[in-house]
Amino acid sequence: MTITLHHHTPLVVCSNAIRTCWQSFDKSDNGGEKDRELIDRVGNKFKHSSTLEHLVYTFYLAGISRALLQELARHRIASLSVKSTRYTLKELKNEESFAVDDKKRASKYLVFTDEQIVDEMSIKALENLRKVLKKGISNDKAKYCLPESYKSELTWTINARSLQNFIALRSDKAALWEIRELAKLIYNTIPEDHQYLYVNALKSYD
């Protein structure tokens, strides 16, 4: 799994949105310590969290499973543009057959777990999908054979209020292991001067 931050809103945009309410623009320090404290005080401590929606992040997520993609879809206040199986399954069509012990080559297409039998069955499903594609079945129908472990990529845009909720829920030990990893990677990818907004949402555990 790899994460790239394509865009983020400067903190001063959020602090200026807050200062709009009191017309206190003259107190801004252009996203510095005073503005950071203001955002935390109003957005977090005073619970006027709608002000955090002025901060927006756009990430490129690669190498995630379709199982994780389904979990992401539950976070509705976010925008997803996902790699299309309709147009991209052809990349699998010309591969040589996959043996169940061929994890290195299959890892181009699959996310593996720490359960051997699950990973072997995923490779078998991948091989079945390859065979279907070789028979000339359309991608629209062949994709019904896709295993949940099949890798996908997407551009994901989310505001700070929703991202706090995402990190709080998905870094919890009850969350899917793969999305826990994603939540922590997302936190580490956020600009350092933004991380203070999420540190209380991030769960830590043994």
- What secondary structure, in 3-state letters, does 1-53 show? CEEEEEEECCHHHHHHHHHHHHCCHHHCCCCCHHHHHHHHHHHHHCCCHHHHH
Q: Alpha-carbon distance 77 to 165, whole Å?
A: 10
Known catalytic residue: 170? yes
Q: What is the sign of the dihedral through the CA atoms of 129, 135, 136 and 138? A: negative
List CB contacts of 56: < 8 A, sequence separation 6 or more. 7, 8, 9, 157, 158, 159, 160
Q: Alpha-carbon distance 206 to 200, whole Å?
A: 17
* Bridge partner list, 82: 154
41, 161, 170, 180: which one is catalytic?
170
List CB contacts of 156: < 8 A, sequence separation 6 or more. 58, 59, 60, 61, 72, 78, 79, 80
Catalytic residues: 170
